[in-house]
Structure 1
């Protein structure tokens, strides 16, 4: 009876983790919508500044209320500095991509990130990648060719180039986060990410600062609130369920991108983009599955 109750509680916990993950992805999509809208009137660096500045108060409030402020003390400053520089470049390129491409097209490119993370983890983290994951990466890049062919988005368009560079930047950041978790706390990683955007992008944005209109205020408020809520939900999701279970639900972002892009701007991606994105998503899910199998095997070997 006790075992049944524990099993039921575990299933409820996993269910809440999945729900929080789906809601977090939705909030991130709302955040991207706000950035896309603001980018039509502001510089990309200015929007990136507001992404950090509107979230910083919420992050600080959370750290103070949960008595986690002392945990932001960094152990390796230089790693936070490098990550901050890459983060500034990544987010600025992301904003440009959101401005130049329909939301679903931009997301289709961003979904390439797990493929790049898998490849980069070999030389940078010395991880071993087997034939299954290499095969999934190869299939995923076939999906990239499908959705970026000249009849779909085109390899050489400005938005596609910035999207691919942004995705590479994100992959580098995630590889850095994996490495930095060996010495840094999650609180420090979150705080200095937002701080680097606020300070770095803020200083650079001064050279191309554009007036903030009264009509921009709801979008700026939505940007800050959605980003803060998304970060909280994401943290709670990973507290309740393992990454191997949650990672596949990140791809629900495409559902929100299709719905929001159509409702707000009347955008709908072509067949090539949808097919290619489907192949990339399937590859990413398979990579997550193989990662889960590998981690399970490692845990078993570590048992006494």
Structure 2
């Protein structure tokens, strides 16, 4: 089960499937975080339990080899930078959520795949096909329609979301750069172990003893996060960052499903149209990749 260093494969369609599943699990994570934040738990407390759970899982899966892999890694600077970017994105996103309507928040954050596509050209020298550009545009239009934002957001919270999106995009690019030499389990162990230590330092001032149910949710959050991270990291072994980027839009589809199952929220007509466009964006990428291989 422990992933090992391997060459990147050309099976981009498999990478897209893994990414869609990963973002679906991340939608479960967002639903749990929403529940916990609504019950007045602090972000760092939630992050601590989540990261500690993922770290324990990574230690169990990776064993001594995982620990030694992190200790001997020659990519510590890259891993540290990526962890800092992810932590910053997390904090910016959920702090902005306190001031923006959810529709505005979602619309602004989904600029991230566009950032990934641009960065993949500038930093990774990847060749981005016209189908990838169309997919990104279609996906963004779908998000805008589904979110149906009203009014102009406050400038600083809006900027926080865009900063979070750029941080996430840069972190995604770093995954691609080091994936061929850094096993998935090493990245998970390093990032989440660091998150656990940083958030633990805040607990004496922020800790709120959770109920049994809420504690279970926090642990479940860690399980969901660990599995989601694993699937997403593995997806980058099979496909370029610019191909994976549009699949992030499918998280909104998962969110619609979870919203109905948990809070009995039904999507509007614009939500349905947006969801169709979001799914179409990933289909365009897969069809374009298949055509490229056939050519």
Give the TM-score of the pair, scaled to structure 2: 0.71
Partner Cα separation in structure 1 for residue 139 and residue 53 of structure 2: 35
Given that residues 66 and 189 in structure 2 are in contact (C-alpha distance below 8 angstroms), is that contact kept between their aligned partners in structure 1? no
Offset, 1:254 = 3.7
Residue aligned with 2:123, SS: helix
Q: Which residue of 2 aligns with 1:91?
A: 90
C-alpha root-mean-square deviation of aligned residues, in Å? 4.2
Q: Which residue of 1 aligns with 2:73?
A: 74
Provide, for residues 67-117 of structure 1, a one-character-per-residue CA deviation record: whole Å limited to 9, x for no partner: 544333321222122111111111223444677789898666655433321
Residue aligned with 1:79, SS: helix
Q: Which residue of 1 aligns with 2:206?
A: 209
Unaligned stretches of 5+ residues in structure 2: 1-12
Given that residues 105 and 269 in structure 1 are in contact (C-alpha distance below 8 angstroms), is that contact kept between their aligned partners in structure 2? no
Q: 1:109 to 1:257 in 2, by over 3 A?
A: farther
Offset, 1:195 = 1.6
Offset, 1:118 = 0.8
Q: 1:86 to 1:279 in 2, by over 3 A?
A: same
Q: Which residue of 1 aligns with 2:6?
A: none
Equivalent of 1:195, from 193, 196, 206?
193
Partner Cα separation in structure 1 for residue 290 and residue 199 of structure 2: 37
Given that residues 46 and 201 in structure 1 are in contact (C-alpha distance below 8 angstroms), is that contact kept between their aligned partners in structure 2? yes
Given that residues 27 and 229 in structure 1 are in contact (C-alpha distance below 8 angstroms), is that contact kept between their aligned partners in structure 2? yes
Partner Cα separation in structure 1 for residue 260 and residue 53 of structure 2: 27
Partner Cα separation in structure 1 for residue 208 and residue 132 of structure 2: 48
Offset, 1:171 = 1.3
Q: 1:234 to 1:119 in 2, by over 3 A?
A: closer
Give the TM-score of the pair, scaled to structure 1: 0.70
Number of residue-to-residue matches in the alignment: 278
Equivalent of 2:280, from 276, 279, 282?
282
Partner Cα separation in structure 2 for residue 138 and residue 253 of structure 1: 16
Q: 1:137 to 1:17 in 2, by over 3 A?
A: closer
Given that residues 140 and 280 in structure 1 are in contact (C-alpha distance below 8 angstroms), is that contact kept between their aligned partners in structure 2? yes
Q: Which has the larger radius of gyration?
A: 1
Provide, for residues 12-58 of structure 1, a one-character-per-residue CA deviation record: whole Å limited to 9, x for no partner: xxx99999777655443332222221222122233223321221111
Given that residues 155 and 161 in structure 1 are in contact (C-alpha distance below 8 angstroms), is that contact kept between their aligned partners in structure 2? no
Q: 1:52 to 1:99 in 2, by over 3 A?
A: farther
Alignment of 1:88-127 (within 5 A): 88-96=87-95, 112-127=111-126
Q: Which residue of 2 aligns with 1:59?
A: 58
Given that residues 21 and 250 in structure 1 are in contact (C-alpha distance below 8 angstroms), is that contact kept between their aligned partners in structure 2? yes
Moved more, 45-54 or 101-110: 101-110
Counterpart check, 1:263 vs 2:261: yes
